[in-house]
Amino acid sequence: MAKQVKDFNEGERVDTDLLVSSLQRGTTNAGSPYLTLVLQDSSKAIEAKLWDVKPELEKQLEVGKVYEFELEVIKYKNNLQAKVLKVLPLPQADIKMEDFVFRSPVSKDSLRSAFQEGISMIDNENIARIVSAALNYYANDVYEYPAAARIHHNFIGGLATHTAGMLKVALALCNIYPSVNRDYLIAGVLLHDLGKIEELTSPVVTEYTTAGKLLGHISIMDARLLQIGKDLGLEDSEELLLLRHMILSHHGQYEYGSPVRPETLEAELLNLIDNIDARVNTIDKALAETKEGEFTQKIFALDNRVFYKHK
């Protein structure tokens, strides 16, 4: 069995099949072309450099395809990196893609049950109808798409995993603070990131769609909710208005992409819960690649801070 990326060691040469999940072109100071690749299997990803790349080889390489790579594993800035020595094409029809993609540790059935349980807790009929219509619109994609292309929950099923984690926090806060309207908070959690299904290209090798780049998932979901409200005859209801506010404000700050800031208790909590779950996942990922008693690499999404992995 070929060695997985998680088992790579500095100084060794490895011959294995890997998925190209990212490809960027560059030029050295001397004018030589090179490629920066992100290569992965289902265990982990690694950055790789292909120096002095020939035009015919560059044309062969495509994001989303699996190739046989011969690599030299090196350490660069305290991270393992790979130098590409050889690339060979493979018949893509024979590839089992599940061997090369990251999946949620939570089963799809468990995630679907968590969503259904959340809907069942909503007492307000209008809110329940809006949420159900939105989830029905996106159907199975809800349980397949990642929550992000790069930073947190960036794996198949990541969107639903992120949402299910947020639901647990939301229900705990409702038990602690009786002033919170549980219907709105549950609905906001279930709806807040569904626009990412239109913002991102696919569950595998995720990039941003044209609409995703031009509009973003917040604007996309607000428009989708408005259309759902019209279809249900609820376009003038307070329920739809407040749910749209929660979608538009869930990033909390103008500079983080929200056109408005939270102005209901439930909208404020949605922003905080979203932040909690995303940050925990981001830190967990970094700690998983860190030895006990050492610090993580700088985490760009968290102000380039490092985190200590205690013994």
Residue whose C-alpha is closest to residue 264's, from 233, 294, 239: 239
- The Cα–Cα gap between 210 and 216 comes to 9
Does residue 54 sit in the same domain as residue 171?
no
Does residue 208 sit in the same domain as residue 60?
no
Does residue 87 sit in the same domain as residue 120?
no
Each residue of 23-35: pLDDT tens digit? 899 999 888 999 9
How many independent structural domains does the chain possess? 2
**Banded model confidence at residue 289, pLDDT cuts 50, 70, 90:** confident
- Residue 173: what pLDDT? 98
For range 68-94, the mean pLDDT: 90
Residue 231 resides in a domain:
yes
Does residue 151 sit in the same domain as residue 276?
yes
Residue 292 resides in a domain:
no
Q: Confirm if 24 and 47 have CB atoms less than 8 A apart.
A: no
- The CATH code of the domain that includes 44 is 2.40.50.140
How open is the CA angle 150-156-158, to the nearest 5 degrees? Answer: 65
Tell me: pLDDT of 266 over 90.
yes
Each residue of 38-49: pLDDT tens digit? 999 988 889 999
Does residue 14 sit in the same domain as residue 71?
yes
Beta-strand (E) ranges in the chain? 13-27, 33-40, 45-50, 66-76, 79-89
Does residue 263 sit in the same domain as residue 118?
yes
Residue 271 resides in a domain:
yes
Residue 295 resides in a domain:
no
- The CATH code of the domain that includes 112 is 1.10.3210
Residue 308 resides in a domain:
no
Residue 302 resides in a domain:
no
Residue 311 resides in a domain:
no
Does residue 127 sit in the same domain as residue 14?
no
Each residue of 202-239: pLDDT tens digit? 887 778 999 999 999 999 999 999 999 999 999 999 99
> Which tops the pLDDT comparison, 159 or 148?
159
Question: Phi-psi bin for 23: left (phi > 0), alpha (psi -120 to 50), beta?
Answer: beta
Does residue 27 sit in the same domain as residue 114?
no
Does residue 90 sit in the same domain as residue 154?
no
Lowest mean pLDDT segment, chosen from 92-101, 123-132, 256-265? 92-101
Percent of the chain at pLDDT exceeding 70? 99
- The Cα–Cα gap between 240 and 248 comes to 12
- Residue 125: what pLDDT? 98
User: Which residue range is the domain that position 160 belongs to?
Assistant: 108-286
Residue 299 resides in a domain:
no
**Banded model confidence at residue 1, pLDDT cuts 50, 70, 90:** low
